Amino acid sequence: MKIPNPVPLLGVVVSALLLVYVPLQLVQGVTSKSIDPVFAAVGLIASLVVGGVIAFFSLVFNLAEPFVGKEDPRERRELEKRLEVYRARQRAMLEELDEIKKLLEEIRDLLKGGMGV
């Protein structure tokens, strides 16, 4: 079982604190009249924005992690082998196309000469 990267998970936890706990404490402070409402509003907006940004990037990096994993050397060799086979096939097709072009040019020249053009 693969252990997940703790940094994005820590980011999700921090963002949850910023999105839930801090606003709750600010609202509680305003209701108990220990915090100024303007200060609480600014703190609430800042907390929501910062928590949202942290949550977004934490989830993006956490979800993108499987796509950035380590390469398997066997898969790499297999891909290189397939690519080499594909290149050889393409070279062979180009050689055949060159031969067809020469043959068509000869046919064209014969037709031009036979028609007196």
Same domain, 26 and 61: yes
Same domain, 15 and 40: yes
CB-based burial, 69-103: b 16+ in 10 Å, e otherwise = eeeeeeeeeeeeeeeeeeeeeeeeeeeeeeeeeee
Same domain, 24 and 64: yes
Joined together, the tokens standing for residue 105 give 């040019």
Containing domain of residue 9, as a range? 1-69
Is residue 69 pLDDT above 80, yes or no?
no
Same domain, 116 and 101: yes
Q: What is the pTM of this model?
A: 0.49
Residue 98, pLDDT score = 95
- Over the stretch 26-59, which tens digit does the pLDDT of each residue have? 999 999 988 889 999 999 999 999 988 988 888 8
Q: Which residue bears the tokens 């055949």?
A: 96
